[in-house]
Structure 1
Amino acid sequence: MTFQSPGSKLALSHKHDWLILLLLAVIDGLLNLIEPFHRYVGENMMTNLMFPFKKDTIPMWGVPIYSIFIPIFIFIAFYFARRDMYDLHHATLGLLFSSLITGVITDCIKDAVGRPRPNFFQRCFPDKIPVYDKDTGDVLCTGIKAVIKEGYKSFPSGHTSWSFAGLGFLSWYLSGKIRVFDRRGHIGKLCLVLLPLLIAALVGITRVDDYWHHWTDVFAGGIIGLTVSTICYLLLFPLPTQPHGTYSCC
C-alpha cells in the first residue's frame, strides 16, 4: 500500500489538465520555430520603421520571473499561512494555463500577421543601405536571418500579453484573498491589487520606448493577456466578492 500526499492526489486528479499544459508548451515552442508571414514593406512604408535597434529594457528571459515565478512564490506564502493545498494547486494551475494559452494565442497571431517592428529598417539593412525588389518594390533584406525573422513579429506584444496574463491572474487572486471587495473601504487593499496591473502596464510601455513595438501592439497584447487571465481565474475560483475568494474543499 503506497502513501500519497494530498498534493499528489490532487495533481493526479487533474492529470489531464497538466498534460494539456505540456501540450500547450510544445505548441508554443513550435510556433516560435515557424517563419512568420513576411508582410510587404515598400520604400514609402519605411518612415515609421526606422527607429533605433536597441536592446530590450526587459529581456524575454526576465518575463517568466515576474509573471510566473513571483506569483507562485506568493501562492506558496498564502499556502503556509492557511495550509490550503487545494488553493495552491488551483492557483498554480490557473496561472500556468493563463500564461501558456496567452502565449499560444499571441504567437499564432504574430506568425499570421507578420507586422514589421518599428526598428525593422536596421534589422533588415544593418549597413543602412536599402535594397528593394525592382519588380515588386518589396524589401530585400541583407541582415541576419534570425534578426529579420523577429522583425516581422511586432503584433501583438508578447512581453505585454504574458505580463498581463501572469500579473493579471495575480491581481484577481489577491483581490479574493485579501477581500478587497468587502465594502469596508480599505484603499490600501485596492492599491495592492492594482500594483501587478501597473507593473504589467509599465512593461508594455518599455516595449514602445525600446522601439520594439508600436503602441497598438502593446494595447492588443494587454487585452489578450487580461482577458485570458480573467477567464482562467473564474474557471477555478469564485468571484472575489465571495468570502475568502476561494473554495473550501476539493
Structure 2
Amino acid sequence: MKGQLTSVYSLRVFVAIAGSFSAVSPSKRPFSLADPSISLPYKKDTISIALAAIVCGVIPAAIIAIVSCSIAAWRARRADVHLRGQVARRELWEWLTGWLGLGLSFVTAFFFAQAVKNLVGKPRPDFLARCNPDSANESAYALEHYDPAGRVLVDWHICQTKNGGGVGISEFNDGFRSFPSGHTCSKIFLLQRLDSYGICANPSTFVLVAFAGLLYLSLWLAIKFSVGIPILYSDRMHISKDPPFEHGGIYDEASSLRRQNAAPPLYLVALILIPLAVAIYIATTRYQDGKHHGFDVVFSAIIGSISGYLGLRLYHLPIGKSAGRSWGPRGRDRAFGIKIGVLTYAEPVENERRTEDIEIGHTNL
C-alpha cells in the first residue's frame, strides 16, 4: 500500500496546477448588448458553494468510509480469529481504493474545467447583469465585425464592472467562464484543501464536479452491492438437473441459462440512483439560475460522468465481475512502474503468499 502514496501526491500536484489556473484572467469574447442569451438577471446560486462541497465531496467520502468499515466489521466477525488482521488490511485497501478513485474523479474533472474555462471565455447567460455596460457609449467600443443577426459586437472594455461598478470584479471575470460547468471551491477536494493552493471559493465550475463525485458514488455503490444489469457468464447450453421447462410440448434446454443470473432487488437499484438524481438536480439549478447555457450543462455532465467512470474503473473491476471488490495493489517491485515486456502491475501469482490472498468462501467470510 505504500506505493499508493505516490498516487496521493500525484493527485495533489495536479490539483495545485489546476488551482493555479484560477489566478489567470479568462479570455473575453466580444458580445452584443442586444443578445438575449446573455441578458438574464443576476441571482444567487440555489445551491451554495458550502452545500455543494458537502453534497459532492464530503458525503460521498463519508459513505465510502462507512460502507467499507461496515463490510470490514461483518467479514471480521465471520473470519477465524487468526485471520481477522488480514481481513482488516484487505478492507482497508478497499477503503483506500474507494477514496483514490473518488479523488481521481474529482481531479480529472477539476483539471479539465480549470484549463478549458479560461481558454474558451464564453459569457454566462447573466453576463450583461455582471458587466454593467456603458450603453450610452456603445459606439466607442463597437468592433468592425458584426454577428450573423446584424447586432453590433462590442469589446469587453464597455463593462463598468471592471472599474468597481456592477456586481464586483470577481463576478465579472467569472462571467466569462460559462463553459464548461462544474463546481470549484476551497472545500470540494478531500485529500487537501484547495485554498492552500490559493483557489478562490467561487462557483466558476459546477456540473463537472457534481457528476464526477456523485456518479462515481452511484457506480461504487453498485459494485459493493452487486447491482447491475444481469449478464450471462457462459453462452453454452447446459442441461439443468431440475425438471426442464416445458412450453408447447417442446423442452427448453436453454432454461438453465436463466439460472445464471437474476435481477437485483429494486430497493438497491433505487439506492444507487439517488446520487445520480442529486447530480441531475444540481445541473438543473445551474440552468435555472442562469449561470450556464443548456449546452454547457449537458457537455459538462458528460465529461463529469467520464471522469467518474475513469476514477472507478482504474481501481475497481467491472460491476458484473467484481463481486464487490477492487483491483489488488501493485507489486512490491512495480509500485513506480513496470519493465518493457511486463503485462501487469500486479504481484506475480507465484510470488503471492497464500495467507494474504483471502478469497471469498475459503475462510468462511
User: Mapping of 1:72-87 within 5 angstroms?
Assistant: 72-83=61-72, 84-87=91-94
**Deviations 1:143-185 (CA, angstroms, capped at 9, x unpaired):** 1321210000001111111010000110110001111126234
Cα drift, residue 135 of structure 1: 4.7
1:173 aligns with 2:252: no
Cα drift, residue 235 of structure 1: 0.7
Match of 1:125 among 126, 129, 132: 132
Say if 1:98 and 1:232, in contact at 8 Å, map to a contact too.
yes
Identity %: 26
Match of 1:94 in 2: 101
Match of 1:48 in 2: 37
Q: Which has the larger radius of gyration?
A: 2
Match of 1:67 in 2: 56
Gaps of 5+ in 1: 1-9
Moved more, 74-83 or 202-211: 74-83
**Rounded Cα–Cα distance in structure 2 between residues aligned with 1:130 and 1:240:** 61
Match of 1:111 among 101, 118, 141: 118
**Deviations 1:79-105 (CA, angstroms, capped at 9, x unpaired):** 221221011001001101100110110
Match of 1:20 in 2: 10
Say if 1:43 and 1:138, in contact at 8 Å, map to a contact too.
no
> Which is richer in strand?
2
1:38 aligns with 2:62: no
Match of 2:283 in 1: 204
Say if 1:63 and 1:162, in contact at 8 Å, map to a contact too.
no
Cα drift, residue 64 of structure 1: 2.3
**Rounded Cα–Cα distance in structure 1 between residues aligned with 2:325 and 2:137:** 59
TM-score by length of 1: 0.89
Moved more, 100-109 or 75-84: 75-84
Match of 2:169 in 1: 145
Cα drift, residue 58 of structure 1: 1.0
Say if 2:315 and 2:327, in contact at 8 Å, map to a contact too.
no
TM-score by length of 2: 0.62
Match of 2:321 in 1: 242
Q: What RMSD in Å do the two structures reach over aligned CA positions? A: 1.8
Say if 1:99 and 1:166, in contact at 8 Å, map to a contact too.
yes
**Rounded Cα–Cα distance in structure 1 between residues aligned with 2:9 and 2:41:** 42
**Rounded Cα–Cα distance in structure 1 between residues aligned with 2:216 and 2:305:** 8
Cα drift, residue 118 of structure 1: 0.5
Letter aligned with residue 177 of structure 1? K
Query: 1:249/1:230 Cα in 2 relative to 1: closer, same or farther (>3 Å)?
Result: closer
Say if 1:165 and 1:225, in contact at 8 Å, map to a contact too.
yes
> Which is richer in helix?
1
**Rounded Cα–Cα distance in structure 2 between residues aligned with 1:235 and 1:199:** 24
**Rounded Cα–Cα distance in structure 2 between residues aligned with 1:222 and 1:247:** 25
Cα drift, residue 63 of structure 1: 2.2
Cα drift, residue 243 of structure 1: 4.4
Aligned residues: 238
